Amino acid sequence: MAASSRAQVLDLYRAMLRESKHFSAYNYRTYAVRRIRDAFRENKNVKDPVEIQALVNKAKRDLGIIRRQNAVKIAPTQRPRGIPTESVRNQQ
């Protein structure tokens, strides 16, 4: 398989960021966006094509994970009983 081109890597980067923004949980969303940015930035100067391909493959697997996790509706739908429904922060 030919080594990934710069354009492919950038496409992958954009796709991962796009998918990460769909996480409904704030902490997962911010972590995914931040981690993806930092990981791509850190590996910016890798020259070895074998290593690049390994990194790209891992990124594609992670993209799959993000997509699958977004497909699972993990948002709290049934509020636990006994907890008041008004937003806590608005009481400040």
Partner 1 sequence: MLLRTAWRRAAAAVPVAPGPNSTAPTRGLRLRGTLRALLAATVPAGADLPPWRGDAPEYYTASLFLVDHATQSDVPSATATPPQAESELRPLYMDVQATTPLDPRVLDAMIPYLVNYYGNPHSRTHAYGWESEAAMEHARQQVASLIGADPREIIFTSGATESNNIAIKELESAIQPDTSLVSVMTVNNEIGVKQPIAEIGRICSSRKVYFHTDAAQAVGKIPLDVNDMKIDLMSISGHKIYGPKGVGAIYIRRRPRVRVEALQSGGGQERGMRSGTVPTPLVVGLGAACEVAQQEMEYDHKRISKLAERLTQKIMKSLPDVVMNGDPEHHYPGCINLSFAYVEGESLLMALKDVALSSGSACTSASLEPSYVLRAIGTDEDLAHSSIRFGIGRFTTEEEVDYTVEKCIHHVKRLREMSPLWEMVQDGIDLKSIKWTQH
Distance, CA of 71 to CA of 48 (rounded, Å): 35
Binding mask 54-73 for partner 1 (x = CB under 8 A): ---x--xxxxxxxxxxxxxx
Q: How far is the CB of 49 from partner 1 (least distance, A)?
A: 14
Tokens standing for residue 15: 């796709």
Question: Of the two residues 45 and 76, which places its CB atom closer to partner 1 in the complex?
Answer: 76
Count of residues interacting with partner 1 (CB under 8 A): 45
The string of DSSP letters for 19-40 reads: HHTT-SSHHHHHHHHHHHHHHH
Asked whether 20 and 33 are in contact (CB, 8 A), the reply is yes
Asked whether 31 and 78 are in contact (CB, 8 A), the reply is no
Q: How far is the CB of 47 from partner 1 (least distance, A)?
A: 21
The string of DSSP letters for 51-69 reads: HHHHHHHHHHHHHHHHHHH
Binding mask 2-21 for partner 1 (x = CB under 8 A): ---------x---x---x--
Q: How far is the CB of 81 from partner 1 (least distance, A)?
A: 14
Q: Which residues bind partner 1 (CB under 8 A)?
A: 1, 11, 15, 19, 22-32, 34-35, 38, 57, 60-73, 75-79, 85, 87-92
